[in-house]
Amino acid sequence: MFFKFKIQKYWLLAIGYWLLTISCYSQETEKTYYDKDNKIKKEFFHINIISEKKIKEGLYQIFYENGKIWQEGNYKNNKLVGEWKTYFYNGQLKQTVLYINGMRNGESKIYTDDGTIYQELFYKDDKLNGKIISYYADGKYMEISEYKNDTLNGESKGFNENGSTFFKRIYVNGKRNGYCEEYYSSGLLSEQYTCVNDLFEGKFTAYYKDSINGKQKICNYLHGKLNGDFTGYYPNGSIMIKGTYSNDSLQGEYFHYFPSKIKNIEQGPLAEKGLYKNNKRVGSWTSFYPDGSAYSSGNYSNDAFDGIWKVYFKSGKPKQLGAYNNGVVDGDWKFYHENGNMYMEGGYVAGKKEGSWKEYYEDGKLKAVYSCKNGELNGKQTAYDNSGKVVEERVYENGSVKQ
């Protein structure tokens, strides 16, 4: 009797524990809706209720208001697992992702709304790792890049829609590091350069768009700033400009050339020369005609015309002579006919004609005399014919004929 009583006691305890477990655990199917009448479904999923906590388990689906599936996949212990799919509003597959224990792992694909593949990605522990491939609508490569821990690392290649190369770059921790190339849509080379931590370093070469390997410029960088010799080229390959940079600023001698008209001649005639300081023109500057004769000469101060400037005809005779003050004409100016005779003379104040002005015929005879005030005709104006006879007289006031 005693033995029988003990067995019955333990059996009762087991039933009690089972009843307690049932009361702490249950499984339900839940649905949500867009509308109050519960006619337009939104979500469908299963949950386990353990100690009053809702834990998603099994199939999960969410729908668009038009009734088509938006997203579907499975949960295990409240974490995403297996393949999950996302769809466009039209029902077309948009993306597939593989999950392990709530984290993206493995291949993922992204599609356009017409069903064509747009991108292939690879994840490890919820971070992009491996080769990422993007496609154009016709299936051709758009970009192929290597990722590590969600960051560009390794080679990255871009392509134009015609299949030609768009760029080749090397990345380390998301920044360009190493030799890189950029291309035009035609497939012709656009730029060649090297980067260190996304900053240009060393030689940089740029090319014209429609010239096969026709250099546009060659320069040098140090820590992302222009430093050293800078040479620019015309499309025919002859040198356009030569200068020197220091910390991104033009410094020292600067030369500008006309394009060479002779094949295989690297440098045409000198067009202009002068000095730069901190990216601004300073000191003496001279420009030339293509035959080498002087065209103009004068000084710059802080990138502005300053002091006396002279302009010449090809013959070497003066064409005009006058002064600037901080880039503005100021003071006496003289202009000449090509035969050397005076053409016009007068004065400027702060960029405007002021006082008496005279004009002359090519043979040197007086043509007109007039006065200006604040840049406008003011006072008596007299015009002469070539014999010296007065042919017109007028009186102006502030630019208008005085009645």
Q: Which of 12-16, 30-34, 194-198, 357-361 has the lowest mean pLDDT?
A: 12-16
For the whole model, what pTM was predicted? 0.81
Helix, strand, coil share of the chain (percent; to 5): 5, 65, 30
Q: What domain count does the chain have?
A: 1
Would you say residue 175 lies in a domain?
no
* Cβ-contact 335, 341 below 8 angstroms: no
Would you say residue 75 lies in a domain?
yes
Span 22-51, average pLDDT: 86
Class of residue 95 by CB neighbours under 10 A (exposed 0-12, middle 13-18, buried 19+): middle
Q: How many alpha carbons fall within 13 Å on the CB side of residue 314? A: 3
Would you say residue 161 lies in a domain?
no
Residue of 51, 64, 59 lying closest to 90 (CA atoms): 64
The pLDDT score that the predictor gives to residue 361 is 97
Q: Which of 22-36, 160-174, 206-220, 381-395 has the lowest mean pLDDT?
A: 22-36
Task: Look up residue 135 and give its two tokens.
Answer: 């496609």
Residue of 149, 151, 144 lying closest to 171 (CA atoms): 151
Q: How confident is the model at residue 3 (pLDDT cuts 50, 70, 90)?
A: very low
Neighbouring C-beta atoms of residue 1, cutoff 10 Å: 4
Q: How confident is the model at residue 365 (pLDDT cuts 50, 70, 90)?
A: very high
The pLDDT score that the predictor gives to residue 51 is 81
Would you say residue 233 lies in a domain?
no
Would you say residue 352 lies in a domain?
no
Domain range spanning residue 67?
23-102
